[in-house]
Structure 1
Amino acid sequence: MLSGPPVTTTVNADQLLERFLAANPRQRRSLLSQVLQRSAELRPLIPGQLDRLDATSDDWAAGLLIQLLVADDDSLTQTFRERYSEGWLAVTSASGIDYAPLQRALVDQQFEEADRLTSEHLRQLAGEAAVQRGYVYYSEVPPIASVDLESIDRLWVMYSQGRFGFSVQIRLLRSLNGRWDQLWPRLGWKQGGVWTRYPRSFTWSLEAPEGHLPLVNQLRGVRLMDALLSHPGLQQRVSA
């Protein structure tokens, strides 16, 4: 008995979106290319989905949908930006820091600007002395409120498809049994902790290695990064 050509079944945009949001991390990665390819179909559906999602989590699926939504300069983008002028993800600060500019930079995938803002916020959180000198001492990290480091990390995770953030760096370091010398190449940083903010020294896109951003000044060794990654607020996020 002759059989015809195989029938290919393509899910509609609603089904793809529902499947993507309900998927586990591994399934979501496999669906990512389809979502990106069909972004034009999905964009009109995204505002309704965002109303159903938790703005206090850091599920990067929501961050991706937001980035697809604002990719074109049209009425959908305009409406979203007006409605969420402070950013869709709900973040808080014990020090009164406004994280809206950081969220906007990450939404627009302006990762170099987001990294600059992150360094600025860390100095603000460390205190006036750090702001004046232009960098943070490792000893100034432990008193920083957990909620602020959590907010910064959640923003990076949310808008990087789960690829960037302090918590991502912690997981990588743990997977290497705390071997800092092995962490640098995994992050795409220069061996030995050499650090510079020259644009050509780093990759300011999602093409960068996992954990590549945000940057931490290593001119004085690993103590600052160790203090950050050892902070209870960030450790709790990884253990949760």
Structure 2
Amino acid sequence: MLSGLSSTPSLTVEQLLERFRTGSARQRRSLIPTVEKRAEELASLGSAALAGFDPKGDDWAAGWLLQVFQRQQPQVLPSLLGASNGWFDAPSAVGIDYSPLQRDLLAEQFEEADRFTSRVLRQLAGPDAEQRGYVYFSEVPPMQGLDLITLDRLWTAYSQGRFGFTAQAKLLAALDGRYERLWPRIGWKQDGVWTRYPGAFTWSLTAPEGHMPLINQLRGVRLMDALLNHPSLEGRR
């Protein structure tokens, strides 16, 4: 079993990194303060700091390391991110560039990341959705699964696993699929009016689990239900 925080000061930076990479979610979260305190040592490893992680995955430990470097050791990021402006692979079946989303999530600019996600969902739904400014639930099934997975992976990776479609779907399943129980759990209003404007939404990691991304519910739960049950996302739960 991994040791708790009491033993972490004696760990070498390599040992700390290995424990953070291989530990359970609970163990990783207990190491977050130590990772923050030893950011300079971790950054000194350069690309080796991320060598054990898979850029095709959604491991939030890698995303958190990058966010810590963004805040405390930004000089190391260019060598880690390269010309792509994003460490995680972000494929698209329709040619969408997800580097702006990675930049916003890396910088914990969650409101901008949410707006980007909304635009992509409209783009995936088609020209009619882009023109009207919102998506119908009936436009969700034909959406490209690869792009929905990319959106979900990036939100997962840069939120300590707390945000994204998969996080929302898991919470809903734990609540027996009852949306009226999900809304207060994730911090959304229940009166049919959800807004991203001041006072109504929390754009930080202090938000409740599943709080982001915002899915417009002005027309009831059918859009969110269709999205969370898209075949490509069902396989990620």
2:180 counterpart SS class: helix
TM-score normalised by the chain length of structure 1: 0.91
Aligned to 1:11: 11
Q: In the TM superposition, what is the alpha-carbon distance from 1:73 to its structure 2 partner?
A: 6.3
Alignment partner, residue 39 of structure 1:
39
Once the two structures are superposed, what CA deviation does each residue of 1:182-207 show, in whole Å capped at 9, x if it has no partner?
00001101123321121321000000
The answer for unaligned runs of 5 or more in structure 2 is 1-6
Question: Judging changes above 3 Å, is the alpha-carbon distance between structure 1 residues 74 and 56 closer, same or farther for their aligned structure 2 residues?
Answer: closer
1:211 Cα offset (Å): 0.4
Partner residue of 2:3? none
What code does the residue aligned with 1:53 have? F
Please name the residue that 1:171 is paired with: 170
**Residue in 2 that maps onto 1:61:** 61
Alignment-mate amino acid for residue 92 of structure 1 = P
Q: Per-residue deviation at 1:93?
A: 1.0
SS at match of 2:214: coil
**Cα distance in 2, alignment partners of residues 30 and 16 from structure 1:** 12
Unpaired segments ≥5 residues, structure 1: 1-6
| CA root-mean-square deviation | 1.7
Alignment of 1:105-116 (within 5 A): 105-116=104-115
Inter-CA distance 94–202: structure 2 relative to 1 (3 Å threshold): same
Bigger Rg, which one: 1
Q: CA deviation at 1:9?
A: 6.2
| Residues 46, 65 of structure 1: 8 Å contact kept | no
Residues 9 and 159 (structure 1), Cα distance of their counterparts in 2 relative to 1, 3 Å cut: closer
Once the 2 structures are TM-superposed, how far is the Cα of residue 48 of structure 1 from its aligned partner? 1.3
Moved over 4 A (4+): none
> Residues of 2 paired with 1:8 and 1:127: CA distance?
51
Further displaced range: 196-205 or 222-231 = 196-205
**What does residue 77 of structure 1 align with?**
77
- Look up the equivalent residue of 1:102 and give its one-letter code: L
Q: Using the TM superposition, give the Cα deviation of residue 71 of structure 1 relative to its aligned residue in structure 2, in angstroms.
A: 1.8
Conservation of the 8 A alpha-carbon contact between 1:184 and 1:193: no
Identical aligned residues as a percent: 58
Per-residue displacement from partner, 1:147-198 (whole Å, max 9, x unpaired)? 1100000000000010100000000000000010000001101123321121
Greater shift after overlay, 137-146 or 16-25?
16-25
Measure, in 1, the Cα distance between the counterparts of 2:231 and 2:36: 36
The alignment status of 1:23 with 2:23, answered yes or no, reads yes
Q: Which one-letter code corresponds to 2:122 in the other structure?
A: R
The CA deviation at 1:8 is: 9.3
Amino acid at match of 1:209: P
Question: In the alignment, which residue of structure 2 is the partner of 1:90?
Answer: 89
Distance 1:9 1:76, change over 3 A: closer
Alignment pair present for 1:135 and 2:134: yes
State the secondary structure of the residue aligned to 2:49.
helix
Task: Give the letter aligned to residue 223 of structure 2.
Answer: L
Residues of 1 paired with 2:174 and 2:215: CA distance?
19
Q: What's the TM-score, normalizing by structure 2? A: 0.92
Is contact 2:228-2:234 (8 Å) kept? yes
Q: Which one-letter code corresponds to 2:16 in the other structure?
A: L
Count of residue correspondences: 231
1:107 maps to amino acid: L
CA distance in 2, matches of 1:202, 1:171: 21
Partner in structure 2 of residue 118 of structure 1 = 117
Amino acid at match of 1:37: K
Indicate conservation of the 8 Å contact 2:43/2:73, yes or no.
no
Alignment partner, residue 49 of structure 2: 49
Contact 2:8 2:16 in 1 (8 A): no
- Kindly state the Cα deviation for residue 43 of structure 1 after the two structures are TM-superposed: 2.0
- Tell me which residue corresponds to 1:3: none
Letter of the structure 2 residue corresponding to residue 217 of structure 1: N
CA shift in 2, pair 1:162/1:84, >3 Å: farther
